[in-house]
Amino acid sequence: MAYETGVASSQEDFLTKLSTFAQANGWTQDELDVPNKELAIRRNNVFISFRWDAVATTGGIAIFQALGFTMGNTPGNHPNDSGSGLISGTPISSQRRLDRIGNGPFTAYHFFAGSVFLHVALEYAPGLYRHCSFGELVKNGTWTGGEYCAGHTWAGDPDSPANPSHCVLVDWRSQLSNLEGATVHVEGMPGEGGTSKWGVVIDSTTVGNDRAGIARVTCLGGLRDGFLFNALHFIRSNPGNGFVSMAPLQVYYRRLLSPEQWFKLGTIPGMRGINIHFINPAEAFTIGADTWRCFPYVRKQFLQLNTDESGNWGIAYRQA
C-alpha cells in the first residue's frame, strides 16, 4: 500500500501530481498533454484517461476507461472505450466526472494505491469532498474482465445523501444518464451479448452503448443501498472503543430483471463504507496491522442548509 497527501493549485496541478504518484506505484503515463488538458495512465489492462476544463467554481474533470491507448486520440476515443466520459465541451458538466470542483486551489488531495488500484479523495474546498477510483476488482470466480472506473457527481438534492440522482463511486442508486455511472469490463457472462465488453453501474435498464455502439449490460454496486449497507452502515463506528463496522463495496452483474438473477463480480479492494459519526474527516485509525483513513461522501454535516451534505455517510480507504 502507498499513500500521499498534499495540496494542489489547480486541476492541472492535481492531475499532474496524481500521475506522478501513479507512476511511482507501478502505473505508466501514456500521455500528459497540458495544452489540450489531457492525461492518460495505465496498468495491466486498466487504461484511464482524463480531460480537464480549468473552469473556476463550476469546472469538472471528465474520466474515461478503455482497454487500450492510441497516441493522438482524444480521451474517449481510445480502443474499446467504455462509452462514459464527456469527450468535448466546457465546462465539463455531464457524464462520468468529478463535478463542480472548480479550478482550485484545492484544500487537500489524498491518494491511495494498492495491488492494481488507485483511490482518490479530493478536498476541493474546506470540508467538501469528491472521490474517484479505478483499478481491478478482487474477482469472484473466473470470467473475463474485472477492470473498473468510478467517478463522483452530487447532482440531486444537495441536502439528501440518499437522493437517487447522486452518483458516488460504485453506486447502484444513480438515476442519472447511464453515462454517469461506474463502468466494469465484463465479457462472456450468461445472457450477455457476444460482442459486449462493458457493464455500467446504474439502477436502470437503460444502460446505453460503449463508444463503438455496442450495448452494455447492467451492473449494480452497494455504497448507499443493499444488504451490507443496510446491515452495517448505520452502525456508528468508534475507533476509540475498538468497535468499527465497515461494509465492503461489492459489484454485481444483473442477468435477469424478472425474476431477478444476480452474479457477484467481485469487490473493490482497499475501500469500505463506514458511518463516521465519531470520526473526523481525513482521520486515520488502525485495526490490527491495517491503517484506514476516512472521509465523508461530500460533507460531514446534516443541517439542511441547501449545501452539499452527506451526514455521517463515509468512505474508508486502506492506507497501509
* SS3 per-residue string spanning 49-104: EEEECCCCCCCCEEEEEECCCCCCCCCCCCCCCCCCCCCCCCCCCCCCEECCCCCC
pTM attached to this predicted model:
0.96
Identify which of 124-138, 168-182, 227-241 has the greatest average pLDDT.
124-138
Q: At 158, phi and psi to the nearest 5? A: -65, -20
Residue 288 Rama label (left phi>0; alpha psi -120 to 50; beta): left
User: Which domain range does residue 280 map to?
Assistant: 2-318
- Using alpha carbons, list the distances in angstroms from residue 188 to 63, 65, 149, 183, 264: 25, 19, 19, 16, 14
pLDDT for position 165: 85
pLDDT for position 172: 67
Of 73, 120, 117, the residue nearest 97 (C-alpha): 120
HSE-CB at 53 with a 13 A cutoff on CA atoms is 25
The number of beta carbons lying within 10 Å of the beta carbon of residue 16 is 16
Q: Which long-range contacts (CB under 8 A, 24 or more apart) does 195-198 make?
A: 197/67, 197/80, 197/145, 198/82, 198/83
**pLDDT tens-digit series, residues 164-182:** 889 899 986 656 688 999 9
Q: Is 259 exposed, middle or buried (0-12, 13-18, 19+ CB in 10 A)?
A: exposed
pLDDT for position 307: 86
**pLDDT tens-digit series, residues 14-53:** 999 999 999 999 999 999 999 999 999 999 999 999 999 9
Task: In whole angstroms, give the CA distance from residue 169 to residue 134.
Answer: 10
| Residue 30 CA from chain centroid, whole number | 21
- Answer yes or no: are the C-beta atoms of 196 and 187 closer than 8 Å: yes
Q: How many residues are given for the chain?
A: 320
pLDDT for position 173: 62
List the grid coordinates of 82. Answer: 467504455
Mean pLDDT of 204-226: 89
Report the percentage of the chain scoring pLDDT > 90.
80
pLDDT for position 137: 98
- Answer yes or no: are the C-beta atoms of 146 and 184 closer than 8 Å: yes
The count of domains in the chain is: 1
pLDDT for position 175: 61
Averaged pLDDT score across all residues of the chain: 94
| Residue 77 CA from chain centroid, whole number | 20
The number of beta carbons lying within 10 Å of the beta carbon of residue 298 is 24
- Using alpha carbons, list the distances in angstroms from residue 26 to 135, 270, 291, 312: 12, 17, 21, 34
- Answer yes or no: are the C-beta atoms of 235 and 276 closer than 8 Å: no
In the predicted model, is pLDDT for residue 218 greater than 80? yes
Least trusted range by pLDDT, from 55-64, 126-135, 200-209: 200-209
**pLDDT tens-digit series, residues 254-305:** 988 788 888 999 999 999 999 999 999 999 999 999 999 999 999 999 998 8
* Helix (H) or strand (E) run with residue 231 in it: helix 227-232
Mean pLDDT of 143-162: 91
